Structure 1
């Protein structure tokens, strides 16, 4: 979206038309809608801008729920925006630390700033791109404690703020920037702020750990089993004695596994009655050993993130499966055994073996009305297939 499109959207006609159209999902008859809007006399440029926003609002519901229906977005801004539920976790960290005013540097469309302002914290939201800054100003308009400044994060006046939140821009025109020095602001500069102020830095969950600062708290967050981000807390926002954290958000609420550093490995042993697949946040935080010990389990293999137990475990930090049978990882054997059990619906999970699940499924020629889970992995170096059921 360019400045002219945004100006058209922000007119009374543009906002009224956007509300009239509402979010557009993939099944909408866009051609017919465009024809109707054009026949009603709306300018082509305005129609195009409204339809783009309507599509973005539909996509944004996954992150912002019903709030998306009154927000504006840019494609890059929505891609990088924090889910509102996760942003609330960030905001709570600043509130609990007694921070009054937070600078959100590189605020994008304002997702995290909304969560901060929603807790009545003062927010100075800074965004380099002028169009994105204007979108953030629109989204933050309902919050009197927030203001938006157009400018570079590196040039922001931080004299009156108590802490800083950063979400360095890692995309430009849809292209991901691989070099942290090319992010906006650069990663080293972001971490360097911790020498002056309490700082939280949001990063992609697959961030190279060698880039992360020692002495900080490294927290990975998953939402509904999807690892959505890593956050580095430093400059006083890190919790005492915690160097690694896995925060798991789901239907159960919120649960967190923490440790002072990467967990020691748990011992490996034979296959038990149950399997636990650690949540991705636990794997990223390298707290698998602590999880295994917490459920009185052991590793299936020293090099693979599968835990096995003899008694049914209860944990929010992983998916639990009840083991039915173990087979060698052999297509002919599995095809025969699955057919004998009438299994036509099969969830295939693989870790530690070089198998293409889609191709493997075709070779099994599944048929029948029953369902199961098939875990393809290794035990003590041997390739195995474990037939199981989700608990």
Structure 2
């Protein structure tokens, strides 16, 4: 989408095209485009409306009920913050006394919307003209400009939020030095604005974080969606795992440096949430449940009693065996397992190839955890605990 197409979508005719496109079950089909054209919409408008509606349908998990009304780009939607995550971050900033915030690299305005809703005066800047125009429409209570984030006058705010662009030319960028703005400028932001939050990719090299920053890993319904570095007075603990399940938030904190005890495989095994693992808080989780690891480098936590926790899924171990395809196939056949969930940590096996090799047949479900111990590869036949 370009600025002309965005302007066209905002006209009365554009609104009518969007409404007509929303009635289509398949916005990507040629038939949908032909249907809109048969209603009198020009090809360019029909295609723009169908593309926008398709993006809005994908945006429901990030923009909630307002997804049907926001304006989106493909790249912007990919990096946009989920509504529930943005709202929690804005509430924490408001509780810290932040009054005015600069969103440097504001994208489509998801965080701006949350910040203004929390009563904070917000300024957004984005280098892409179309993205900035969308943000201005999506967050009407914020002041949005198009430009280089590095040129923003930070003296007008008491806090900064920066989500550097991690896409270039439609492709994901992995090296921090290729971010926009570049990482050296981003990492130095807390020196200029002590109340700074940096939104980062979950796989960020933690050694790159500004000194003294709190690293928060966030997951939503089992998916790790982002990392955030809380800097200066905003930092409370070295590491935090925030797990959002069914709209409820749970937090686990710690140093990130603790080591979990190592011991034997138990009657139960818990697979910690990805946010716990990436925040290096597996030891804290294990300590809370009298758990242990069978291998110090693998994050499966073994216990002698079942674990009930939002920070992980617990399985009762029905059988633990050294990995052998023949033996595993026989065990699954004896249990008449036809529906098998396969999880793995510390295993190089290809899950889909293994599923084909197992030749599953039967009415029963089971969960298979592939891992290793100091004695070699291990297969755990399990079932989830209630």
> What range describes the TM-score normalised by the shorter chain of this pair?
over 0.9
SS of 1:149's equivalent? strand
**Cα pair distance change 1:316/1:24, threshold 3 Å:** farther
- Indicate yes or no: 2:151 matched with 1:155: yes
Q: Hey, what does 2:357 align to over in structure 1?
A: 363
1:221: Cα distance to partner?
A: 0.6
1:210: Cα distance to partner?
A: 2.3
CA RMSD of aligned residues (A): 1.5
Are the aligned partners of 2:161 and 2:197 in contact in 1 as well (CA < 8 Å)?
yes
Structure 1: state its 5+ residue gaps.
Answer: none
**Cα pair distance change 1:207/1:353, threshold 3 Å:** same
**Cα pair distance change 1:24/1:320, threshold 3 Å:** farther
1:28: Cα distance to partner?
A: 5.2
Q: Hey, what does 2:378 align to over in structure 1?
A: 384
Are the aligned partners of 2:346 and 2:372 in contact in 1 as well (CA < 8 Å)?
yes
- Indicate yes or no: 2:263 matched with 1:269: yes
Are the aligned partners of 1:263 and 1:290 in contact in 2 as well (CA < 8 Å)?
no
Are the aligned partners of 1:76 and 1:172 in contact in 2 as well (CA < 8 Å)?
no
Q: Hey, what does 1:12 align to over in structure 2?
A: 12
CA offsets, 1:147-186, max 9 Å, x none?
Answer: 1111110001222211001100011232122332231111
The equivalent position to 2:184 in structure 1, one of 181, 188, 191, is 188
Report the TM-score when normalising by structure 2: 0.96
- Indicate yes or no: 2:164 matched with 1:165: no
Cα separation, 1, equivalents of 2:298 and 2:23: 43
Q: Hey, what does 1:213 align to over in structure 2?
A: 210
Larger mean Cα displacement after TM superposition, 355-364 or 37-46: 37-46
**Cα pair distance change 1:252/1:386, threshold 3 Å:** farther
Cα separation, 2, equivalents of 1:187 and 1:28: 38
Q: Hey, what does 1:177 align to over in structure 2?
A: 173
**Cα pair distance change 1:218/1:336, threshold 3 Å:** same
1:352: Cα distance to partner?
A: 1.1
1:209: Cα distance to partner?
A: 1.8
Cα separation, 1, equivalents of 2:322 and 2:334: 16
Q: Hey, what does 1:66 align to over in structure 2?
A: 65
1:351: Cα distance to partner?
A: 1.2
Q: Hey, what does 1:246 align to over in structure 2?
A: 241
1:36: Cα distance to partner?
A: 2.2
**Cα pair distance change 1:305/1:170, threshold 3 Å:** same
How many positions carry a matched residue from both structures?
Answer: 384
Task: Output aligned runs, 1:1-391, within 5 Å.
Answer: 1-22=1-22, 27=26, 30-141=29-140, 143=141, 146-197=142-193, 198-239=195-236, 242-251=237-246, 253-259=248-254, 261-391=255-385
1:379: Cα distance to partner?
A: 2.3
Are the aligned partners of 1:24 and 1:58 in contact in 2 as well (CA < 8 Å)?
no
SS of 2:102's equivalent? strand
CA offsets, 1:284-343, max 9 Å, x none?
Answer: 111111110111111121121100100111211111111111122101111111111110
Cα separation, 2, equivalents of 1:153 and 1:318: 39
Are the aligned partners of 1:23 and 1:54 in contact in 2 as well (CA < 8 Å)?
no
Report the TM-score when normalising by structure 1: 0.95
**Superposed structure 1 runs of 4+ greater than 4 Å apart:** none
SS of 2:215's equivalent? strand
1:263: Cα distance to partner?
A: 3.2
SS of 1:42's equivalent? coil
Cα separation, 2, equivalents of 1:61 and 1:23: 16
CA offsets, 1:15-72, max 9 Å, x none?
Answer: 23213322766x4573232222212221111111111101100111121222100100
Are the aligned partners of 1:263 and 1:288 in contact in 2 as well (CA < 8 Å)?
no
Cα separation, 1, equivalents of 2:78 and 2:346: 31
1:127: Cα distance to partner?
A: 1.1
**Cα pair distance change 1:23/1:357, threshold 3 Å:** farther
Cα separation, 1, equivalents of 2:156 and 2:19: 38
